[in-house]
Amino acid sequence: MSGGSVTTPPERPAILLYDWDNTLVDGWAAITAALNATFAAFARPLWTPAETRARVRVSLGESFPAMFGAEWEKARDIFYTTLAGGHLAALTPMPGAAALLAAGAAWPQGVVSNKAGVFLRAEVAHLGWGDYFRAVVGAGDAASDKPDPAPLHLALARMGARARRAVWYIGDTALDMQAARAAGCTAVLLGDAGHDGGIARAAPDRQFADGHALAAYLAAAA
């Protein structure tokens, strides 16, 4: 046996599942505009984009009843009407997202988001990313939304797979990490969760600075 150091190859995932907003895409301008149109209709204070990033976590179906009470469906309709008019034009990929999906194409990939499924799938198609994903699951597609594990299980079922540690769920918030753990998957944080209390609060199993860093890891693991 010859001497010298031995390099351990990177651990390989079996399946890659991604959150959408602030993980693969930046759609906050359109989300903020839709929220502010809704708030204005109810004479409420408007949010800045930074406040939207910090506050939006659960699906609209969970958050709006608490925010607007009996009038939440009216608020929902205003929000969705406004969002439909501008979400595609405002959509931009996150840094490294294209490289990440290209590197990740060596594995089955899917998306699990708390964005309403009809908007989510329209955005995937708009970016021309549909061929990357074997499943695209949005809010309302499963029995419950994140942090419940149901949408992750649904995505995996559509991919002919099951939840296990070799499935990586990649997101940007503590809620994403919670959903991954609840499903029995590996929780992978993209970024530093600075808008959500930081890395320690998110408590990921793995963490990468951005899409470029994770793409490089996957390229080495392929």
pLDDT on residue 5: 47
Question: Would the pLDDT of 6 be above 70?
Answer: no
Question: Would the pLDDT of 134 be above 80?
Answer: yes
DSSP helix/strand/coil, 95: coil
pLDDT on residue 2: 41
Question: Would the pLDDT of 22 be above 50?
Answer: yes
Going by DSSP bridges, is the β-strand pair 25-26/92-93 parallel, antiparallel, or unpaired?
antiparallel
Q: Are 189 and 162 in contact (CB under 8 A)?
A: no
Q: What are 40-90's pLDDT values in tens digits?
A: 999 999 999 999 988 988 889 989 999 999 999 999 999 999 999 999 999
Instruction: Please state which CATH class domain 15-26+92-221 belongs to.
Output: alpha beta
> Where in the chain are the domains?
15-26+92-221, 28-84
Average the pLDDT over each of 50-54, 129-133, 190-194 and give the range with the smallest value: 50-54
Average pLDDT over residues 181-196: 96
Q: Return d(Cα 112, Cα 155) in angstroms, integer.
A: 7
Which secondary structure element, helix H or strand E, spans residue 187, and what is its range? strand 186-190
pLDDT on residue 141: 97
190 φ, ψ to 5°? -105, 120
DSSP helix/strand/coil, 67: helix
Torsion, Cα 20 156 189 95, to 10 degrees, reads -40
Average pLDDT over residues 125-149: 98
Q: Are 217 and 189 in contact (CB under 8 A)?
A: no
